[in-house]
Amino acid sequence: MAQKIDKEILIGELINVDVNIVPILMSAGMHCVGCPSSQMESLDEACMVHGIDSDMMVDAINEYLAAKDM
C-alpha cells in the first residue's frame, strides 16, 4: 500500500519519503526545498508562502506515490 502524505508534513520529512518528490515541488515553483527553513516548514506553510493550493499539491504528491508503488 502506498504511503500517503498530508499537508502538515514537514518539507524535510517529505523529501525523506522520496527524493523524487523534489521535482514535483520545484515544477510548482517551490525552489526552496534546499533552504534550511524548509526543514521546519510544513507543506501547507510552504504552499501558502508560494501561493500554491496545498490540497492540490498533496493530491499530486499522493498520486505520484500511488503510481510509484504499482
CA distance 52 to 9: 16
CA dist 68 → 41, 47, 53 (Å): 25, 23, 23
pTM of the model: 0.90
pLDDT per residue as tens digits for the range 4-46? 999 999 999 999 999 999 999 999 988 877 788 778 999 999 9
> Residues 57-68: pLDDT tens digits?
999 999 999 998
User: What ranges do the domains of the chain cover?
Assistant: 11-68
